[in-house]
Structure 1
Amino acid sequence: MEKQRKKILLAAVLILSGVSAFAQGNGSAGIQEATQMVTSYFDPATKLIYAIGAVVGLIGGVKVYNKFSSGDPDTSKTAASWFGACIFLIVAATILRSFFL
């Protein structure tokens, strides 16, 4: 009874080790496919960031215009922060794209 249990256990270990040896061949192909999938998302993501930047730029421009029209003394600070945010979005999208691709 004990010998039969050992034989079954040995056969199971051999089968499982053989299966894992055959499964290791597709590791590099899987990594290459995942890399290609991730890099394919950068073009749409960059365009989305640019679109968000355009909307934020328009909203910020209207906000600065309203402050300027009303004679608010804080207009230059608002304009500088709006301009900095627009530049940051454009530069961040460009740097991320060039860094990962």
Structure 2
Amino acid sequence: MEKRTKKVLLTGMALLTALSVFAQDGAAGINEATQMVTSYFEPATQLIYAIGAVVGLIGGVKVYNKFSSGDPDTSKTAASWFGACIFLIVAATILQAFFL
């Protein structure tokens, strides 16, 4: 039993020593993570704007096709596509303003 206790104690001490070697300053790690996350917002915002532009173009073509064919549901389709584009733009802008 004495030998087993020494093994457990030695293992525990080795583990604590290994953990203390890998320990870092918490504030520096948080600051680095914050900087990394915020560096992705500008490209992500630009990507969302591009997606919004593509969705808007596709929506414009669909609305034009419905309007040309005389579909009475044209205004509903136009409103939904326009709303989707506005939502993408506003969401990207708000997220960027909120996190930066």
Which TM bucket (shorter chain)?
A: 0.7 to 0.9
CA distance in 2, matches of 1:35, 1:51: 25
| Unaligned runs of at least 5 residues, structure 2 | none
The CA RMSD over aligned residues, in Å, is 2.0
* Shift, 1:9, TM fit: 5.4
* Shift, 1:31, TM fit: 1.8
Matches within 5 A, 1:1-101: 10-101=9-100
Residue by residue, what CA displacement relative to the aligned partner does 1:26-52 show, whole Å, maximum 9, x if unpaired? 322222111111110000000000000
- Residues 4 and 73 from structure 1, CA distance in 2 versus in 1: closer, same or farther, beyond 3 angstroms? closer
* Shift, 1:3, TM fit: 6.5
Q: What TM-score comes out, normalization by structure 1 length?
A: 0.81
CA distance in 1, matches of 2:45, 2:34: 17
